[in-house]
Structure 1
């Protein structure tokens, strides 16, 4: 156990300080620590298994894994990738360069979308957040086009990181353009136009804080009105064709963007827009080419994250193939390294945790009886996904790799698969939402709550030490996975999740007085974190409020559960809470997360949250004047 004085002054550092001093961030990582250690362990297991399968040391009788391995071979064949150079990209680039007007683009818009070519707006099929009743339908959604920089705030005049990152992106893009045959002068002109077009979109985009407010993303407009807003993009018929019918409406996440669309995209801006298309095509697809292209095309990402080197070739090929066959690889991992018995054990633990939450809701003192009862109904209706899915998505059975010896290239296979996935997604339009679908694969070290599905999901990969282990005490497990489980349950009652009912519909089930009190308490959580210094910047309390409310609720419920075990050890509980958040990251990565991540920095998640609990003060003897002391009236308790 760490020194008592240290524990009372900087709890996170007292638990993790020695580890942080010694820990080294691998050159191909931007961070190391709790979560990342588990990621590395999962990678090692899977890469080892797949290498053994290729060598005939491990048998495989799953045709989907066989197909994954074929694609993995294509991705890992750097000899062929280097030999081909820019050749696989040429047909895609020529297609973009052949566009001479919006009319040209409109004619091939359907194929353009299916092939994944860039456009200055995104359309997709996702659940209707306001569908009433248990059967929810998938509808058409639209969002503004992606920017070069990570967030709109990077375009603000006072943001020094913006111009620095844009300079890195410019240098990278110009280099890639010369590698596909452009002269240095041509590359400069193309990139100058692309930046001009990119900057013209930025004022009408939402920033990360605005995008984190789910209720304000739901803006239905008539389809005819949406098509009219697209101006020169006369693609109403093409969208109807893609969906198999003409939609009545579109849910728009960024209304301001589409209201101003014709200011950005018009006949006058067409030349700059076309060069923006060229830059996006080259930068997005270069990583599937030769080693030189892969190294150059990763420059911007590495500058953004502070990662010193690109991933090694074999690992990058594995990541690429695994990303494409995500559920297939996840299913293999879950069944081999987690299994049915553990799946049931953890499911029972989640049920127990929802029981604790239910009890706390029933005993809540600031909610009215009507809202309490509805909250319990929502909790009781929550679906639980643990370990790995019960069924494989049909779309993976359609992926057929064209091997190198049959004339296949990595980029060719990637684009074929992208088309299959896009067709599959769009085919779900106006059909019931599949509540069994997993948004994460089982080999992902993470967990999530889906407000529109009212479900929580705990993939197999996170269900290991230090989060969960039979070798750890019950108190340690509750400080780790228990708090994570309750955190995800708490998302049903965070400032976003609380707006959805038990069927996952965006519909207010609160009394006016209760919602007012909830907002007041959430505001206290915003204030507790807002402005805290970190990585040379300051925390945006509004950006991180939903995750902080979930952390507060998760820790509260896990603590309650730990106290009711046979041999509660609250020291072990709090220590493991701090341990799971241990992290060492590059300054660049910390600054990036500070701007765009809805989670508070790891150290603050560990330190600030425990200050809200009387049990922490009692367990470690924290007194006024200690660094970990917070006055009782400042302590935030929501759930």
Structure 2
């Protein structure tokens, strides 16, 4: 990692090299003159395929149905500039913005390569044309995000069967190149997509394919060339994100201030480079520096205690049948817990860089190494305690539930500044903060989406019809409850998209209060105050309105107010009585994992926060 850091931080050398490190990779694409040459390029025969972006996503992971064994997953996941395949048939404002920013980046680099405007426009047009061909044969975005898609995507093929449907596209040759030709079976998520890939893989589309790979390669290398290219990349990226590159106070520093700023900037850049390309080794260093076994043990014990309560809660749900209740408890008992840091990290000691090489070659070597560590996992048993550090970083400030793995993930970044957890916190603060986060994620195992997956993470109808109907009625009431809430006078309310997150909020609060009840001296006022502080934030009315319409989470102040006012413990702690704004009559309260009120109809005709 030190060698990579030295390459990344050596701006003098990078500036002297200019765009030269990318020249061999660009020339390899420009020289493709036949379909045989294109296939050799895809197979990286000469080591000059930098991005190696394929039209089929190739990963090794648990099968969609066989969750105990690793298999090769073949997904319809080509890299598309506009990101959403639907945008190629109907351009949206967001896709138009992405296209404009991409055009600016590619035009800049191709100009430095010596291309004129006409040639550049031709390359971009052909790239989008070819991406449109790929997008046309993919499943629509909405379909890919549905539960039904996961069921339809579970298609088991042998290597011979894949060869029979791939047509001209060299998919089986790619599998052999990645040393994955020996898988017992393959999961082909969209067989029709694989079949259709052979159709555009022709000499007539060769220039389109070359343009596609040229654009992909330039996008990948731009931030790792010289300072001019990096600054241009950063400028475009920040403009796309709606940010400003500098603050007024940062302009034209001089003397010591300039040197200090340069040193600080270099440290930030190195951190970003290493975090982007060598995230797992950096994760290992982060854990060694900021995490300890005692902290991990305490948090694991907290999770164990919360899970124990959920087991009791599920067993006591008398509106569930015994059959569904038993399945729910089995799912809870099979929950994988990944907390604070993984037990082991991938060994990167075999990763080496070319002596006297450049940053582009180093990144290419890293990409090759990462692909190489996938193949040995083929046909092996799934380790449910293993962290997939390509998708989850120990430095990330996050916690989440993964329904396909039936796993909760508590990443150590969330513990970094003591806001969510410190060993010396009071019990009230621990339950209000990290405890409530853990409870929230566990509840997701039984929310609208989580309830579709069984204990092994398979899409499975483990609910009885009667129980599922009763659950849907409860979630519908939750949706109706939030749909009448407005966050400021005249604002448009919710549209029913917060139900799963609201369910998880209610579940966690019930759990935390049950654990609190075991402590005779528990300070409920401190607990609720600490919980409220967790969600405080500032936002403009426009931002609040946007979040209310598009975010699956309730607005921050509603996550506090609506949740806590459902519980007697809150009313007692703060002396909230009938007639007070925060008081809700018992029959108006809404709790999914609590017994519902007796009344058939609830008077929710007006907002609780007018």
Range into which the TM-score falls when normalised by the shorter chain: 0.7 to 0.9
| TM superposition shift of 1:407 | 0.9
TM-score, normalised via structure 2 length: 0.80
Residue 127 (structure 1) aligns with: 62
Check the 8 A contact 1:617/1:623 in 2, yes or no.
no
Q: Aligned equivalents of 2:290 and 2:425: distance in 1?
A: 18
Larger deviation: 476-485 or 378-387? 378-387
Q: Aligned equivalents of 1:264 and 1:537: distance in 2?
A: 46
Q: Aligned equivalents of 1:118 and 1:517: distance in 2?
A: 46
Q: Aligned equivalents of 2:483 and 2:305: distance in 1?
A: 34
Residue 451 (structure 1) aligns with: 403
| TM superposition shift of 1:74 | 1.8
Q: Aligned equivalents of 1:208 and 1:606: distance in 2?
A: 33
Larger deviation: 361-370 or 235-244? 235-244
Check the 8 A contact 1:479/1:559 in 2, yes or no.
no
* Residue 84 of structure 2 corresponds to residue 146 of structure 1: no
Residue 565 (structure 1) aligns with: 519
Alignment map for 1:204-223 (pairs within 5 Å): 205=138, 210-214=143-147, 216-218=149-151, 219-221=153-155, 222=157
* Residue 292 of structure 2 corresponds to residue 343 of structure 1: no
Check the 8 A contact 1:474/1:565 in 2, yes or no.
no
Check the 8 A contact 2:64/2:150 in 1, yes or no.
no
Q: Deviations over 1:301-323 (max 9, x none)?
A: 32343232289443122122134
Q: Aligned equivalents of 1:167 and 1:430: distance in 2?
A: 44
Check the 8 A contact 1:335/1:388 in 2, yes or no.
no
* Residue 216 of structure 2 corresponds to residue 280 of structure 1: yes
Rate the CA distance shift 1:188–1:634 in 2: closer, same or farther, 3 A: farther
Aligned residues between the structures: 565
Q: Aligned equivalents of 1:538 and 1:190: distance in 2?
A: 46
Residue 22 (structure 1) aligns with: none
Residue 592 (structure 2) aligns with: 637
Check the 8 A contact 2:127/2:215 in 1, yes or no.
yes
Rate the CA distance shift 1:511–1:251 in 2: closer, same or farther, 3 A: same
2:377 is matched with which residue: 411, 428, 432?
Answer: 428
* Residue 404 of structure 2 corresponds to residue 469 of structure 1: no
Alignment map for 1:170-249 (pairs within 5 Å): 170-202=103-135, 205=138, 210-214=143-147, 216-218=149-151, 219-221=153-155, 222=157, 226-227=162-163, 230-247=166-183
Residue 358 (structure 1) aligns with: 311
1:167 is matched with which residue: 83, 100, 103?
Answer: 100
Check the 8 A contact 2:73/2:189 in 1, yes or no.
no
Q: Deviations over 1:324-381 (max 9, x none)?
A: 3333332333233221111211111111111121111111132111221222222223
Q: Deviations over 1:397-442 (max 9, x none)?
A: 222244xxx3121111111011011111133222212223213343
| TM superposition shift of 1:71 | 1.8
Check the 8 A contact 1:306/1:588 in 2, yes or no.
no
Q: Deviations over 1:444-467 (max 9, x none)?
A: 322233434433232333235221
| TM superposition shift of 1:95 | 1.8
Q: Aligned equivalents of 1:264 and 1:485: distance in 2?
A: 48
Between 1 and 2, higher relative CO (CA 8 Å, sep ≥ 6) is seen in 1
Larger deviation: 621-630 or 481-490? 621-630
| TM superposition shift of 1:252 | 4.2
Larger deviation: 626-635 or 205-214? 626-635
Check the 8 A contact 2:317/2:593 in 1, yes or no.
no
Residue 59 (structure 1) aligns with: none
Residue 579 (structure 1) aligns with: 533
Check the 8 A contact 1:330/1:442 in 2, yes or no.
yes
Q: Deviations over 1:53-97 (max 9, x none)?
A: xxxxxxxxxxxxxxx233222212222222211111111112222
Q: Aligned equivalents of 2:266 and 2:554: distance in 1?
A: 33
Larger deviation: 419-428 or 230-239? 230-239
| TM superposition shift of 1:182 | 1.9
Check the 8 A contact 1:451/1:497 in 2, yes or no.
yes
Check the 8 A contact 1:126/1:140 in 2, yes or no.
yes
Rate the CA distance shift 1:178–1:212 in 2: closer, same or farther, 3 A: same
1:99 is matched with which residue: 18, 32, 43?
Answer: 32
Q: Aligned equivalents of 1:104 and 1:526: distance in 2?
A: 56
| TM superposition shift of 1:141 | 2.8
Residue 45 (structure 1) aligns with: none
Residue 387 (structure 1) aligns with: 340
* Residue 333 of structure 2 corresponds to residue 397 of structure 1: no
Residue 292 (structure 1) aligns with: 228
Q: Aligned equivalents of 1:607 and 1:586: distance in 2?
A: 19
Larger deviation: 480-489 or 335-344? 335-344
Q: Aligned equivalents of 2:544 and 2:194: distance in 1?
A: 32
Rate the CA distance shift 1:386–1:95 in 2: closer, same or farther, 3 A: same
| TM superposition shift of 1:282 | 0.3
Larger radius of gyration: 2
SS of equivalent to 2:339: strand
Residue 357 (structure 2) aligns with: 408
Unmatched 5+ residue regions in structure 2? 247-263, 595-610
Residue 39 (structure 1) aligns with: none
Residue 394 (structure 2) aligns with: 442
Rate the CA distance shift 1:304–1:482 in 2: closer, same or farther, 3 A: farther
Larger deviation: 223-232 or 324-333? 223-232
SS of equivalent to 1:90: helix
| TM superposition shift of 1:183 | 1.8
Larger deviation: 565-574 or 487-496? 565-574
Check the 8 A contact 2:447/2:500 in 1, yes or no.
yes
* Residue 24 of structure 2 corresponds to residue 79 of structure 1: no
